[in-house]
Chain A
Amino acid sequence: MKLLLALAWKNLSRYRRRTLITAGALAAGVAVFIWLDGWLAGAERESERNIVWYESGSAKVLPRAALEDLRLLSLKEVIEEPAAVESALQAAGVSAARRAVLAGELFFGEGSLLVKVIALDPASDGRVFRLAETISAGRYLAPDEPGVLLGEWLAQDLGASVGDLVTLRARTRYGAFQTLELQVAGLLNCPNPLVNKGTAFIPLSLADQALELQGAVSELDLGFPERQQPGPRLEAVRARLAGFPGLAVVGWKELAQDYLMIARAKTAGSSLLLVLIFIIAAVGIGNTMLMAVFERVREIGMMRALGLGDGAIRLAFLLEAGGIGLLGTAAGLALGAALNFYMVRWGLNLGAMIGSMDIGYRVHTVFRSAWHPQALIGAPAFGIGASMLISLIPSSRALRLQITDCLRHK
């Protein structure tokens, strides 16, 4: 084994340029894999965080009837006595925030835009959401004021700024139109683009009076300490609210099905791209090993004549290909990790390129990567393994020749 290792190592330097080119191709493949995979993992992680922190909370308590079509944004189905539900949730140690969600049209100057209106309780909303931390101009809402918070992109589309008076037209709980004159209290630069470009926030007490809610809300939003695996806590909340048959507890993953489907599709597409990158690298290694074997057929014949077994000859080329794989993946790992480090630390600002375009991910403008240990281990392991496996094809072909044919080979 030591002899074969030494031979493989020496043969690597035999065709230095070819070895470096092949290792370089593999390095590029591994580096792109790590970079792209980290980027996808980062976008997914950030999207999930932004969904939970700014869009849906960890879960929602909703009237069961409202589940039929959550996109309606109607006040028709509401939780009549949120206080009783809150008490049950409090007993379960879960924070909750009251919200009323409806569709509306916002007017300013000559223009208007259809928006999602969220009426929130400024005092308790921070238990679940982090909107207050995203104020970029003006201030957060005060409890009873006739004010509104707008996403920056929404305000820009509308042409409104802090202090301007805008008009909101919406339907009351009973379907009548109501018009509200609101002053823009502040602007949000929220990392979640959906919030930034299409949502207006008003105080819940104002909505309660103007939209005839009479203390009802459309949902209670829940904040769990954990984000990734809320399942057990979700089950505990469901058990605790068993006495409220008209209500349903829905986790954020069920609420963000649209995002999750897009994310899965993008991951599948990216995986295909990564497979292609590896195929290109594999073809490069295959070609290098094919040439290496072809040029050394006589040498193989000589080694066989001297009594080196077929398995040992296969192993010699396997080790040589593994050496190229090791060089390539080590360089690729270093390059990919460096790129990923930059992306984790500083990220890439794609704001100018994507603007307010919906790309599925709930990421604002700066895309940050995440460390994905499986990719850091898996990509080099796959690169080395694939290199070694590919070398079996040409070496097996050479071993099918008679020793005498090998020795005559020119």
Chain B
Amino acid sequence: MLRAEEVRKEFRTDHTVVAALRGVSLRIEPGEFLSIAGPSGSGKTTLLNLLGCLDAPSSGQIYFDGRPVSGLDRRELARLRRRNIGFVFQTFNLIPVLTAFENVAFALSLLGVERGELRRRTLAILEEVGLAGLERRLPGELSGGQQQRVAVARALVKTPPLVLADEPTANLDSDTGAGILQLMAELNARHRTTFVFSTHDPMVMGFARRLVLLHDGLVSKDERRTS
């Protein structure tokens, strides 16, 4: 469903050029639970951004469902993300003035889902991530773990084929982080949603069924595991 071919990404500053990715090729199949791991500066977040069509590669190509995304304009890229990709960010990135329900429903509203169905699906996913009864709370009234659950619910409510999570447990304590990963693994198994998450935490890597290790902008290891 997602393919990267010889993807390179360079960042230019005033006097220097930094190569964040130096020719990464990767093929991700539907239903995978994949971790992109590596030390800081290895290019994890850059690769995740490229896979999520948030940024464009300096060279190489990303294919989504066999279609190259480099030819798409801003509007088409926004539509592709809206319909096909859910995001979970390290810092949750919830809208502080919206309740948990409204934050999750936001993703469905963008798709123009009818009000009754929007309510039903939002309540269902909030229950699934263990937040039943907390729908009316504002993000500031929730713990870090609960906020990340809202973010996971927001990513999943539109039932996208792909969810990208950038260091989803980095701001959580280990127990809460493990809980979030457990939840993501369950949702992956239940909905067959592809999960790709970046991390440098060995505990997190342990949850992945496929581990892609990056080192200095190159794939150093691509390992499939059996659970």
**Chain A proximity of B20: nearest CB distance (Å):** 11
In the complex the two chains form, what is the Cα distance from A310 to B79 in whole Å?
11
Tell me if A13 and B97 are in contact (CB < 8 A): yes
Partner-B contacts on A (CB < 8 A): 3, 6-7, 10-11, 13-14, 298-299, 301-302, 304-310, 402-404, 407
B81 at the interface (CB under 8 A from A): yes
One of B91, B97, B102, B106 near A14 (C-beta < 8 A): B97
In the complex the two chains form, what is the Cα distance from A310 to B81 in whole Å?
14
Q: What are the residues of chain B within 8 A of A7 when measuring CB–CB? A: 95, 97-98
Tell me if B81 and A404 are in contact (CB < 8 A): no
With A302-B95, A308-B82 known, 17 other A-B pairs at CB within 8 A are A3-B109, A3-B110, A6-B102, A14-B97, A299-B95, A304-B78, A306-B81, A306-B87, A306-B107, A307-B80, A307-B82, A307-B110, A309-B75, A404-B54, A404-B55, A407-B54, A407-B89
Q: What are the residues of chain B within 8 A of A14 when measuring CB–CB? A: 96-97
Tell me if A305 and B106 are in contact (CB < 8 A): no
**Chain B proximity of A402: nearest CB distance (Å):** 6
Tell me if B54 and A305 are in contact (CB < 8 A): yes
Number of A-B contacts defined by CB within 8 Å: 61
Given contacts A10-B97, A299-B95, contact A307 B54 (CB under 8 A): no
Pull 14 A–B residue pairs with CB atoms less than 8 Å apart, ordered by A. Answer: A7-B95, A298-B91, A298-B93, A305-B52, A305-B81, A307-B79, A307-B80, A307-B83, A308-B110, A309-B78, A403-B49, A404-B54, A407-B89, A407-B93
In the complex the two chains form, what is the Cα distance from A14 to B82 in whole Å?
26
Q: What are the residues of chain B within 8 A of A13 when measuring CB–CB? A: 97
Q: What are the residues of chain B within 8 A of A10 when measuring CB–CB? A: 97-98
B44-69 CB contacts (< 8 Å) to partner A: 49, 52, 54-55
Tell me if B106 and A310 are in contact (CB < 8 A): no
In the complex the two chains form, what is the Cα distance from A70 to B119 in whole Å?
82
Sorted from nearest, which 7 A-B pairs have the closest CB atoms? Answer: A307-B82, A10-B97, A302-B93, A3-B109, A307-B81, A403-B54, A404-B55
User: Number of residues in B with C-beta < 8 Å to the partner?
Assistant: 26
**Chain B proximity of A302: nearest CB distance (Å):** 4
Q: What are the residues of chain B within 8 A of A299 when measuring CB–CB? A: 93, 95
B141-191 CB contacts (< 8 Å) to partner A: 154
Given contacts A306-B110, A307-B79, contact A11 B97 (CB under 8 A): yes
In the complex the two chains form, what is the Cα distance from A69 to B82 in whole Å?
80
Q: What are the residues of chain A within 8 A of B79 when measuring CB–CB? A: 307
B225 at the interface (CB under 8 A from A): no
**Chain A proximity of B122: nearest CB distance (Å):** 13
B120 at the interface (CB under 8 A from A): no
In the complex the two chains form, what is the Cα distance from A304 to B52 in whole Å?
12
Q: What are the residues of chain A within 8 A of B55 when measuring CB–CB? A: 402-404
